[in-house]
Structure 1
């Protein structure tokens, strides 16, 4: 459905000085003659004079058999015709109340920018630039006195590029902050209002990639894998070699089923490590420290199992006897208990035959202090917040522990494909502003 919106002005329906039909009637005739059907015309007015212009225009359109009475709706609200806020809000509210409530999602708005006061003429452009007019086309009609020999009297303008630019910038900021749910909503809106064919062609790919990143962030690797597979089946993606390489690396990473294993392994431990970085970027500092604790736990479970073939998740009596004597002595009083994380860490860093593992002993107190910060924040219901600085202190410690306790992670750490730089390569090919991720 196409709806024509216009304020009624002094030159509607016919100008007194030239006896020429005004812009409203001129546009309606032009659309009819050029095979561009318009379903309804909505005429706005903000004072008694404008209300009379609107009524006269309605009568003229009907008398000229250009449209029926049922196709014309008049909207009036008392306001100053030069008050930008009042006039623009009036037009906005009429559209919101009467277009957004329709079941028909395929609505296009034509706005006449050649009738009424300058304020009225500009209001449609403001709404269109903000992406608030579906379709958002702005039509202008030149005064016949000012039309050159090779100049068209009727023209259409599309100012949605302004709102599109702002939306694109907000999308870049959302992705940079790992706010993937927000980014998905913005990408949907961008695809709806865009005036660029290339954006329309790539919008499905952009949405699928963002949904994959959202699922990836939630450790739902199967869903993330499915969304990236959808993108790979699309033909319209304008990949650069760098973007395609980054995308393929992400797909290969997700295709590794070790990510979904319930047992710790080098791949899912690296994934856990990088999730701490994303949580920090999302300003979820308490969650980031909680992930840090889970990572240390996973590293210790993995190391004890890899080095000594024991499962320290079980109560001590089931595995202590399998340890070397110097380690077993440290746990002799644990019996039926599950061994606390810090006891596992202290024992390992004090008694390991590997000097690089023993060097981790220096980090124990720092890590314990940071976990205390996190626990105090939870106990105080967030009134003692964990800070960015707290997370910054723990990240280098965690990286060192990962590389020391699980040497096989070294290559994974270097090749991890969901870093900001790797996201940038993929999303920039799909229209994201450069340098924002």
Structure 2
């Protein structure tokens, strides 16, 4: 019986991982430019972290988490997102005591959610995320948004749309919450079962429902922007002003909400407008979370972050026809003829690799012609030929494959010839 991978997961083969490596390298360089530092957290955490941090009423906690008991009877969960884990680490390691604030972190790794597999959505997926904790300055909101946009632009994407909203502070949210309850309660029987539950537990989530999005009550639902107090309204204006000064275009969408309970004030999403990308256009999202650190036992600390899916990023690259260039060419392919020459070939391959060159050789005892074909397939710049006669003289023939120019040199001079370009 053949054993296949679980549904909702995928193998990334070498021709795919090359693209992933380019993406990962680009994102890490970008994070370094913005002065963010890498953090790596466990792939599973205590279930309580996500219940308290992400929110009991969210779809993630109620429907999508991979939760299990270990042999000690403890409830553990494969991480469905990165922010709660980073926040837990921030509290546990007392990063709030660091002299330099905000604490600026990034992560890159697998997440796990039990959802219906579809294009661009898998049950194991990879997220790149940013968290800036320890500042309530609108300028850091704008910085995180700018970094999010650059995550796509640095890889060549141009058909992008940035959407902003404010969810306000606690006072503003409470006023808006009551307005939503009053608005939707007369229509409760017409809404889906999930929305009926959300009406009691988290009315803001009604605005994000895909089932009832065309219901008439959704079209004239109270806007959070109408309920922002003076502080929240000014905060949002300042975020937008920072973006204006940066020259970053955006659209304000008062219906935009995020699927996690910890968001306050700034919320944003980045969407692809590329033709053929698909009906679900959201590439990434994020926002401010001013109460999360306290909710998991830490001191009062403000934070903001975002996360993007590498899988959906690749879909956007494909939709815009962007073929990431990766250096998969060899500097040199060593061709050998005869048993003794093969030993000398192994020695030369090792020496060239120690000198920093990308080198390979034949391991199937192919004829010389077949070895040269392999050198062409690997797009090698040079081929070095060692035969029995060359062995006796301590020389080798180096050939530049682009134009066929070749010369015979001492074997110990091959690295110099490659360095000097023959």
Instruction: Give me the TM-score of the superposition, normalised by structure 1.
Output: 0.21
Of Structure 1 and Structure 2, the greater strand share is in 2
| More helix, by proportion | 1
Q: Which TM-score applies when normalising by structure 2? A: 0.21
Quick one: higher RCO (CA 8 Å, sep 6+), 1 or 2?
2
Q: Which has the larger radius of gyration?
A: 1
